Amino acid sequence: MNGDLTDGRITLRLIKFALPLMIGNVLQQFYNLADTLIIGRVLGTDALAAVGSSYTLMTFLTSILIGLCMGSSAYFAIQFGKKDYEALNHSIFLSFVVIGIFTVVLNIFVFASMGWIIRVLQIPLEVQGLAEKYLACIFAGLAAVFLYNFFANVLRAVGNSVVPLIFLGISVVLNIFLDILFVILFGRGVWGAAAATVLSQYVSGFGIMIYYFWKIPLLRIKKRHMRWDVTMLREIFSLSFLTCLQQSVMNFGILMVQGLVNSFGAVVMAAFAAAVKIDTIAYMPVQDFGNAFSTFVAQNYGAGKRERIRQGIRSSLIFVFFFCMLVSFLVCLFAKPLMEIFIRVENIDVIQTGVGYLRVEAAFYFGIGLLFMLYGYFRAVGKPGMSVVLTICSLGTRVALAYMLSDIPAIGVTGIWAAIPIGWIFADFVGVYHYFKMNREDAI
């Protein structure tokens, strides 16, 4: 094992571990842009609308599986930090079985509820046929999503973030190649786009699973690990369920804000859509750093190295602060040219609205950077419920203030933009307060 984060130079180890996570997210964003380009340019607006209307649902379903796997990985990292490989292997077996069964049940449900799902999503009648074809195929990939994310999170829990990146890279390249093959050359339409995604997901899912069993003998599941342990299962379930709940609440809050934005018309909708892409890419590195920080804390928490955790917090805060200040400066300075990447220069109103959004959000990027660290910290020390509380604080404040402020004529849509960082900062205060409270009680 060369992924032990319980010794060595803290900042260097954290950045080295986080870098593959950041690159992986960039690859995923690149694929999303390429996929949208191929579908929109080759198949037209109806196909793009059908796929786009299905995207929110797939993001929600995927976030459930990712949340379950991510929550389990915190438990894995704690056991790895303790060097208790028997408990680690046992917990991997239990998690795999339980989340695997859940994935099968979820898959059966979504296939059986296809018609109901189409109605709930309020997909326009003219694209319902295309959306149904796309969903019927893409749902078949949920098992692959589970396989990849489960074993990727196991590897990250033991400090290996490079191998998940390699298999993600293979999946992205294969997906784009199959998109070109199925959509452009074979003319298979939206079904071809979905099939390309599903096949590439299974390649990465089975690939990383084979790697795990072949290359990491220390973590190989033996017959003695294949038994039920209600106490361990309860601990894993607590971490997994609450992390999953956090992911779901986050997506629900985003949907509510999107609905409010839509009420301001096409100009604001277009500006928001473009600006959010820029915004997400800008703070994505600190989100990935927060996940890396979580693994660091979990391993050291398991190893009982409290002082190293405190040193890691200080080092991470310094890194996140200076990184966020740099990104904030660049986004504020280049907000207009960044908007012009997505929006034609003649659409002045859209660009100006997007610039307003970016400059409000960018000024407070350290707020979201600190919040990602708090999410990761509480998850790592076995307090995922606190991460859910912080998510509710952030999104609850954001949604409530967005509706209140935007209703004031003198503020208007700027109220929505301002509500977002206010939500971050409020959650930060709550999280920092609880951190120091735990510290006083000697919980960490």
pLDDT by residue (tens digit) across 140-163? 999 999 999 999 999 999 889 899
Angstrom distance (rounded) from CA 234 to CA 276: 38
User: Taking a C-beta distance cutoff of 8 angstroms, is the pair 258, 344 a contact?
Assistant: no
Is 232's pLDDT higher than 80?
yes
Lowest mean pLDDT, pick from 275-284, 326-335, 402-411: 275-284
In 3D space, the residue among 432, 408, 403, 435 whose CA is nearest the CA of residue 419 turns out to be: 403
**What length is written for the chain?**
444
- Structural tokens at position 129: 């046929």
Angstrom distance (rounded) from CA 117 to CA 398: 28
Domain boundaries, the chain: 1-228, 242-444
User: Taking a C-beta distance cutoff of 8 angstroms, is the pair 289, 19 a contact?
Assistant: no
pLDDT-above-90 percentage for the chain: 48
Q: Mean pLDDT across the stretch 361-372? A: 96
Angle between helix 348-362 and helix 266-303 axes, rounded to 10 deg? 20
- Structural tokens at position 224: 């003695």
98 Cβ contact list (under 8 Å, min separation 6): 233, 236, 237
Is 347's pLDDT higher than 90?
no
Overall pTM > 0.85 = no
Number of Cβ within 10 Å of residue 88's Cβ equals: 25
Is 53's pLDDT higher than 70?
no
At position 14, the amino acid (one-letter code) is L
Angstrom distance (rounded) from CA 137 to CA 351: 37
pLDDT at 122: 66
Confidence of residue 315 (pLDDT cuts 50, 70, 90): very high
Ranked by mean pLDDT, which of 46-50, 68-72, 231-235, 323-327 comes out on top?
Answer: 323-327
User: Taking a C-beta distance cutoff of 8 angstroms, is the pair 43, 185 a contact?
Assistant: no
Q: What is the mean pLDDT of the chain?
A: 88
pLDDT at 246: 78
Angstrom distance (rounded) from CA 89 to CA 382: 19
Is 206's pLDDT higher than 90?
yes
At position 248, the amino acid (one-letter code) is S
DSSP class of residue 6 equals S
> Using only C-alpha atoms, what is the Rg of the chain?
22
Number of Cβ within 10 Å of residue 272's Cβ equals: 24
pLDDT at 94: 94
What burial letters (b/e) apply to 159-188, b meaning 16+ CB within 10 Å? Answer: bbbbbbbebbbebbebbbebbbebbeeeeb
User: Taking a C-beta distance cutoff of 8 angstroms, is the pair 119, 131 a contact?
Assistant: no
Q: Mean pLDDT across the stretch 214-230? A: 84
Q: How open is the CA angle 403-338-36, to the nearest 5 degrees?
A: 80
3-state secondary structure of 158: coil
3-state secondary structure of 122: coil
Is 430's pLDDT higher than 60?
yes
pLDDT greater at residue 140 or residue 41: 140
pLDDT at 128: 81
DSSP, residue by residue, 236-247: HHHHHHHHHHHH
3-state secondary structure of 271: helix
